[in-house]
Amino acid sequence: MVGEGLYVNMTNRCSNRCDFCIRNNGDGAYGSESLWLVREPTREEILESIFSHELEKIPELVFCGYGEPSYRLDDAVFIAKAVKERYPNIEIRINTNGQSDLILGRDTAPEYAGAFDAVSISLNSPTPEKYQQICHSVFGEESFGSILNFAKNVKNYVQKTCFSVVKETLTEEEIELCKKISCECEVPLRIRDYIPPET
């Protein structure tokens, strides 16, 4: 649990190695125990764990790191739809680095429809060069354009799609450029604080 939300950690895998990632300096966040998975739980195990909570009292379910959840997009969609079926009022969000098209090698945006109420995409930077400099994607500078494309596509399927940036990693000028990208893509921008690691 983080605040009032229930967070689902499905994988350690990630296509990035961001300088500010909580994985760099510790293995927890928000006072949690270690988030590093010894093995990836099956979708059935994840569902069992989710349903062990009093979901009628939980307003939000969030698919997020430790790793990049879209590595297991099929499973995340399956789980989200199963939860929605039993608890239609719970808000379901996925936090992603926006690289699912590159990770899975297909146009993934339509798959988010009907599973997630919100998609939060880490923009992290106003340019491909800076993105690569701080996020070190295995896909190189190509990743940045793919993230923007994904955002523009997925907002057609999930109304609450937004970009996020970490305030401490960018200059004011860079944040202004990110706002411009957000306007051009017609995807709102959330400027968030850095999450310190648990050591």
User: Mask 1-20, x = binds ligand SF4 (CB under 6 A)?
Assistant: -------------x-xxx--
Query: Is residue 29 involved in binding ligand SF4 (CB under 6 A)?
Result: no
Q: Which of 6, 8, 10, 21 binds ligand SF4 (CB under 6 A)?
A: 21
Do the beta carbons of residue 42 and residue 50 sit within 8 Å?
Answer: no
User: Mask 67-96, x = binds ligand SF4 (CB under 6 A)?
Assistant: xx----------------------------
C-beta closer to ligand SF4: residue 36 or 51: 36
Using CB atoms within 10 A of its CB, is residue 18 exposed (0-12), middle (13-18) or buried (19+)? buried
Do the beta carbons of residue 6 and residue 62 sit within 8 Å?
Answer: yes
Give the other-Cβ count within 10 Å of 25's Cβ.
Answer: 11
Query: Is residue 102 involved in binding ligand SF4 (CB under 6 A)?
Result: no
C-beta closer to ligand SF4: residue 90 or 170: 170
- Segment holding 122, helix H or strand E: strand 118-122
Q: How far is the CB of 75 from ligand SF4 (least distance, A)?
A: 17
Q: What strands, in cross-sheet order, belong to the sheet with 118-122?
A: 5-9, 60-64, 91-96, 118-122, 160-166, 189-192
Query: Is residue 143 involved in binding ligand SF4 (CB under 6 A)?
Result: no
- Segment holding 165, helix H or strand E: strand 160-166
Tell me how far apart the terminal alpha carbons of the chain are, to the nearest angstrom.
19
Query: Is residue 23 involved in binding ligand SF4 (CB under 6 A)?
Result: yes
Query: Is residue 121 involved in binding ligand SF4 (CB under 6 A)?
Result: no
Token duo for residue 71? 């590595």
C-beta closer to ligand SF4: residue 97 or 182: 97
| Binding site residues, ligand SF4, CB under 6 A | 14, 16-18, 21, 23, 65, 67-68, 97, 122, 135
